[in-house]
Amino acid sequence: MTDTIFALSSGAPPAAIGVVRISGPAAGDAVRALAGELPEPRRASLRMLRDGEGRQLDRALVLWFDGPRTATGEDLAEFHCHGGRAVVAAIEDALGAIGGLRRAEPGEFTRRAFANGVIDLAEAEGLGDLLAAETELQRRAAQASAGGGLSRRVEGWRDRVLHLSALVEAVLDFGDEDDVDALPEMFHVELSRLAGEWRETIEAPRAERLRDGVRVVLAGPPNSGKSSLFNALLDEGAAIVSEEAGTTRDVIERPVAFSGVPFVLVDTAGLREEGAGQIEQIGIGRARTELEKADIVLWLGPEGEGPDGAWEIASRCDVDEGAKREPKYVVSAVTGTGIGDLTRGLVDAARSLLPKPGEAPLNARQGSALAEALGAIEDISADDDPLLTGERLRLARLALDRLLGRHSTEDMLDALFGRFCIGK
């Protein structure tokens, strides 16, 4: 029998309102124990909550939802109480004293929704991203996934694969009859369309880049103005600025949003071949590693000496005008000249690297599953044995099922739901 769980599902107290959620077979008993009786389903009812000794806890709104048509797929109740720490603690203590009830683990409500078929794994992953969203672009992408946008698309693909499988089965079952002797031409046309759609989706920007932010690395030799520009872009003194060469000896990174677009700015040690001490050499090695991981490199060193594709930045236009013949941007961290133009340029470039607004992008796990489905069908040819073709289509369906979480390991589920907050 499934345990009945409870937790505070609203923000940490103190707050105006606290929402204590209960889910499981004993949820109704818990409501009766604290509120006296079950209210009418799906209608808020004002009740006095009392503990097992009859002491008043709080006057709260009580909501009762009988399963399975609930957020978790099982009986569920909510107490909307005052959000003070003492009030919430008293209600939780009273619930904990009831037999069969226990405090929820992180993400356990959502995990029950998944286990009971209320949401699939792609929707659960989107919900996790929605809870962590800090920018408008992140919110819209996560909302699309949590709302089932990706799941509906995958279900559509799966239905089309099933239809193709049915055509193969018809050839296998009735191939000796005159009217069914080979796969129709539309079979391979549809197969090609599916493969094209999957390839395009796999190659599109991923959810991780949107979640983590576009990685912008500031690079160049010592005293080229990297830390000053880093601070100017952040509008804070995150990095130490000094005339002494080698001041920045490690990687410093900060998340930031420009015009609602998420970035991670990375300040690095000055790149030089000679004169660096042992600790600074470690920092230089880390700086070179960051260059390999960067989405955009702002090169503040001598023109033409940066990595391929780096943006040439003339970083000290207030004292060193004309230092670069063809800089992409001319800026000064001291006067603020060009900083706005640079941030707008970063935003424009980032939009091409990130999923389109409102699009439900794939994450790494989902992309791997879809790539597996693509690998199963892309080598199917008209000369293949129908048995082999049918098996490849079956493997593609299994990969799509894995994308939606119909075949998932406990370890993977533990990792996903473990990043949810308690009460969600």
* Residues tagged in the binding site annotation: 21, 78, 118, 223-228, 242-248, 267-270, 424
Reduced to 3 states (helix: H, G, I; strand: E, B; else coil), residue 27 is helix
Kindly report the number of other CB atoms within 10 A of residue 17's CB atom: 13
Please report, for residues 300, 348, 416, the alpha-carbon distance to residue 384 in angstroms, rounded to integers and kept in the order given.
57, 47, 40
Residue 275 zone, left/alpha/beta (φ > 0; ψ -120 to 50; rest): left
Contact between residue 67 and residue 74 where contact means Cβ atoms under 8 Å apart: yes
Q: What angle do CA 112, 117, 122 make, to 5 degrees?
A: 90
d(CA 300, CA 295): 16
| β strands within 133-280, DSSP E | 214-219, 252-258, 261-267
From CA 402, how far away is CA 393, in angstroms rounded?
Answer: 14
Strand ordering across the sheet containing 76-83: 45-50, 56-65, 76-83, 15-23, 4-8, 101-103
If you write DSSP's letter for every residue of 304-320 in order, what string do you get?
T-S-TTPEEEE-BTTTS
Q: What residues are designated binding site for GTP?
A: 223-228, 242-248, 267-270
Q: Are 329 and 342 in contact (CB under 8 A)?
A: yes
Tokens read off for 374: 């693509």
- Binding residues for Mg(2+), as ranges, are 227, 248
Residues 6+ apart with CB under 8 A from 12: none
Q: Which residues of 162-197 are buried (b: 16+ CB within 10 A; e: fewer)?
A: eebbebbebbeeeeeeeeeeebeeebeebbeebbeb
Closest CA to 154 of 358, 356, 361: 361
Binding-site residue positions for (6S)-5-formyl-5,6,7,8-tetrahydrofolate: 21, 78, 118, 424
d(CA 230, CA 343): 12
Phi/psi of residue 229, each to 5°?
-70, -40
Nearest to 259 by CA among 324, 347, 380, 326: 347
